[in-house]
Structure 1
C-alpha cells in the first residue's frame, strides 16, 4: 500500500506501507530511495512486521522541490509521516544519510512515536573531517561528488558505487541500484551532498534516550567504522553490531545477518 503524505511546506512524500505488526520506518541513504530495502520489504511483513519505507523529498516518487534539504527540514518531513500514520510505538531505522536524519529527528522532535532506533552505516555524527573531528572522510571527497553531479551524474554514481559495495554485486543488481540513484532529482542530489558535508550532529546524540542499535560495516570506506564508535560513546543506550565482512552496503554484503540482527533488536 502506498501513501502520499503532505509535509509542513506542502511537499508530497511517497510512503510504502506493507504488512501488520510492529511498524518499522526505513529512511534510505544518499542518493537512492526506499526501494534499496528491497529484501527487508519482502521479508519483514512475512515475519510479522509492518514495513514503512519513506522516499525523502527529492528522491524516488516523492516531490522534488527546490528547497528543504537540511536535516531540520528532512526531520520535519518525517514528523509529518509519523503524525499522519498515527505511529506511537515504531522502530526508526536510518541508513547512511537516513541515519543522520533519524538522529536529528530524535533530538528535534524528542523521539515522538519512536521506541527504538537503528542506525545503519549512519553518516553521523559528522560525515567529514574538520579541525576538531578527525574521523569521517575529507570534505574534498564530497566536493568531488558535487562536481561530478554537475558534470556527469551517471558516471559519478557509477564511480561512487565502486566504493559503496564491499562485495561486487551482480551486473543486474548494479544496474538496478544505479537506476534508483538516477531517479533522484539532480538538485536534491547536490543539496543533500552539501548537507552531508557540512552538518554536525554531535550535540544531538545525548538527546537520544531510546535503545539504539548501531549496525556498521568494518570495511566501510564511505562512513568509516570510527563513526560507529563515536555514536556509541555519545548515545546512552547504544550497542554496536559490527559487520566484519561488509563495506558501506552491509544490507547487501551480509544480507541475511543484516535482517537477522534487525529482528533480534526489534524483539529484544
Structure 2
C-alpha cells in the first residue's frame, strides 16, 4: 500500500507500507541519492516472515514532494517523527542506510528514540563531517570529493550517478541491475540531491552517538569505499552495547550484495 503523509505545508512524503497492521514494524530510511525501492530485496522477502516493512522516500527523492528547502538532518529527522506518529507505530526497528543511517542517528538523539526499540545502521554515513583516521591531506581530498559531487550534480547529474555506482558495489552486478540502480538516483530532484550532499559534507553527528540507548546493530561492508569500515568500528566503540555485523564480501551496497545474509541477520537481530 502506498500513500502520502503531510510533514509540513505543501510537503508530502511518500510511504510504502507492506502488510499494514500486521507484524513487527521495520521502518527503512534509504541512502543518498536513492529512494525506498533500494530495499526491494528486503521488501519481497521479510513480509513472508511476519515483518511489516515500511519504506519512505525522503523529501526530494522518489515520489515525495521536492521543496526548495528542508534538507538538514534536523528537518529530515523531524519528517521521520511525523511519519511514525501519523502511522501510530510502536516498537519500531529503525533501519537506515548511508545518509539514512545518519538521519536515523539524528532522530535517536533529537527525538530521544521515540517509539524505536531497536536501531540498525547500514553502511551509515556517521563521520563524513569529521572523517576520523585520515591524514590532513586525505581530509582535504575527502572535502574536495564532496565539493566535486555537488558541482557535478548541477552540471551532469547522470554522469555523477554513474561515478557513484562505480564505487557502490564491491561485487559484480549485472548491467541490467546497474541500469535499474542508476534509475533510482535519476528519480530524485537534482537540487535535493545536491542539498543532501551538502548536509553529508557539513553535518556533525559527534554528539549524537552517545545519546543512543536502544540495542543497535551495525551492518557494514568490509570493502565499503563510500563509508569506510573504520566508521563501523568507531560507531561500535561509541554506541553502548552495540553489535557489529561485518559483511565480508560487500561494499556500500550490502543490502543487495549479500542480501540473504543481510535479511537473515536482520531477522536474528530484531528477534
Q: Give the TM-score normalised by structure 1.
A: 0.96
Which residue is 2:156 aligned to?
A: 152
Corresponding pairs, count: 264
Which of these residues, 58, 73, 76, is aligned with residue 74 of structure 1?
76
CA distance in 1, matches of 2:181, 2:169: 11
Which residue is 1:117 aligned to?
A: 119
Write the deviation string for residues 65-102 of structure 1: whole angstroms up to 9, x where unpaired: 00000000000000000000001211000000000000
* 3-state DSSP of counterpart to 2:217: strand
Which residue is 1:166 aligned to?
A: 170
Which residue is 1:195 aligned to?
A: 199
Which consecutive segments of 4 or more residues in structure 1 shift more than 4 A?
A: none
Counterparts of 1:1-268 in structure 2, within 5 Å, are 1-19=1-19, 20-124=22-126, 126-129=127-130, 133-135=132-134, 138-267=142-271
- The verdict on how the C-alpha distance between 1:121 and 1:18 changes in structure 2, with shifts beyond 3 A counting, is same
CA distance in 2, matches of 1:190, 1:138: 16
In 1, are the aligned partners of 2:154 and 2:191 still within 8 Å (CA)?
no
In 2, are the aligned partners of 1:129 and 1:138 still within 8 Å (CA)?
no
* 3-state DSSP of counterpart to 1:177: helix
Q: CA deviation at 1:128?
A: 4.3
* 3-state DSSP of counterpart to 2:8: coil
Gaps of 5+ in 1: none
Q: CA deviation at 1:169?
A: 1.1
Gaps of 5+ in 2: none
Q: CA deviation at 1:168?
A: 2.4
In 2, are the aligned partners of 1:28 and 1:36 still within 8 Å (CA)?
yes
Deviates more, 1:6-15 or 1:72-81: 6-15
CA distance in 1, matches of 2:176, 2:91: 37
In 2, are the aligned partners of 1:213 and 1:241 still within 8 Å (CA)?
yes
CA distance in 1, matches of 2:260, 2:198: 33
